Amino acid sequence: MQMIQKLFVLLFLSGSALAEMRVITDFEGGNAEVVSLDETTRTLRLMPKLHEGRGWPCWWYFQLDGLTPGEEITLEVQAQPRPFREKSILGAVWCQPKHAWLSSDGKTWTPSEAGTLSADKVMSYKLTPTSETLRLAWGPPFVPADAEKLLNEIAAKLPEAKRFELAKTCGGRVVHGIRIGEENAPHQVWIGARHHAWETGGSQVGRGFIRWYASEEAKALRAKTCLHFIPIMDVDNVVLGAGGKDAIPRDHNRDWADAPIYPEVAAAQRMIDEIHAKHGLDAYIDLHNPGAKDSIFFFGPFAFERMTGIQQRNYNRWMELAASHITTPLPVEPKYRCATYVTTEEERGRMSSGWVRNHTGDFTLSVTLETGWNSPLMTVEGYSNIGAGLGRALAWYLEQNPRAP
């Protein structure tokens, strides 16, 4: 009798609870290398897959099938132990957000409970799915399909908007942009995201910005401005789910040299040169999402003290306005940081914001907005609010002509 009961329990377990978990990554931005999958404890351990020469292995994003609603599973994330560049191995912290991000419909993303870090640097997240399949990611994803949807949405809303093809990547993919406003408008602005593919929050901030820019509130700003907006620069690495940062021989953000490797960087340089030569460029803002801390800050110019009066005035005005308008979900730091870890003039000159500074005028503002990611506040909506704040700061900034002596 006991034997029969045991058999019954075994049959019951195998029949009902043990659908096998399956990891799927064959979609835009998908990345996960399965280290182990223990069906008895329902524990999946993974690490970001290394894409040789394509930068930091930090981003992960996958679909998990074979779940039982209500049954707890454990997701463990460890660092990729192979070097991404020469002998450099990426620290675990970059692939271990405090919270994993979950979606059961691929659209709405919510943070998990905070994970716990073991002494041997494995982050464990306890998850109780409510559906048989889940998408899980390092942070709320933003892939070319999202960019496409966003640009279509903006183009449909604003008849004066013109979508354009910035370039075709080395991988043959299109880098899309949108221009809003008359070509010869009094003010010219260039805003873009994802020189670093893994910094998905940069595009999330960009989406918040461009939606605000297309809103009624921005009508007066639109009337006097020609904006160029690029939601994703490093499309190839975003599609592959590769980090991009510190790619070999250099990443997109360090490719703003005389002879860029990436066609999309070369195309942006050509367009910015032309815009500045014809009309003058007022502002260049590059959106990043780098730090494992949760702060939001701007990288400003090197050697601020050596700048001329109009430059200092404009950078100071920008910072004051940014600090009063970028306040939620966290306030932006009210002082510029300086990327002092970049030590040579040569490298500083081929960072995107540095190149723009060197190729434009005294009145041109060129900054990067660096939004932290490691916080449950950095939801799609949280990032979006930062983008809207950025738009309001821009409106007020252009309200007083930055070109006036």
List contacts with Zn ion (CB under 5 A). 196, 199, 288, 290
Cβ proximity to Zn ion: between 246 and 282 the closer is 246
Cβ proximity to Zn ion: between 199 and 264 the closer is 199
- Which residue is associated with the tokens 């399949």? 133
Q: Which residues of 61-99 are buried (b: 16+ CB within 10 A; e: fewer)?
A: bbbbeebbeeeebebbbbbbeeebbeeeebebebbbbbb
Q: CB of 139 within 8 A of CB of 201?
A: yes
Cβ proximity to Zn ion: between 81 and 91 the closer is 91
Cβ proximity to Zn ion: between 263 and 291 the closer is 291
Cβ proximity to Zn ion: between 102 and 239 the closer is 239
Evaluate the CA torsion angle 164, 170, 171, 172 in order and state its sign. positive
Tell me which H or E stretch contains 145: helix 144-157
What does each C-alpha distance from 86 to 59, 103, 248, 251, 280 come to in angstroms? 20, 36, 9, 15, 42
Cα–Cα distance for residue pair 31/16, rounded to 1 Å:
30
List of residues 6+ apart from 339 with CB closer than 8 A: 299, 302, 348, 351
Q: What's the min distance (Å) between Cβ of 353 and Zn ion?
A: 11
Q: What's the min distance (Å) between Cβ of 179 and Zn ion?
A: 24
Q: CB of 296 within 8 A of CB of 335?
A: no
Tell me which H or E stretch contains 57: none
Cα–Cα distance for residue pair 58/198, rounded to 1 Å:
7
At 348, list the tokens: 């500083």
Cβ proximity to Zn ion: between 199 and 282 the closer is 199
3-class DSSP state of 62: strand
Q: What's the min distance (Å) between Cβ of 5 and Zn ion?
A: 60
The string of DSSP codes covering 216-279 is GGGHHHHHTEEEEEES-S-HHHHHHT---TT-SS--GGG--SSS-SSHHHHHHHHHHHHHHHHT
Cβ proximity to Zn ion: between 235 and 395 the closer is 235
Cβ proximity to Zn ion: between 54 and 222 the closer is 54
Number of other residues whose CB lies within 10 A of the CB of residue 117: 15
Q: What's the min distance (Å) between Cβ of 198 and Zn ion?
A: 8
Where are any strands of DSSP class E within 256-375?
283-288, 296-299, 365-371
Cβ proximity to Zn ion: between 135 and 254 the closer is 254
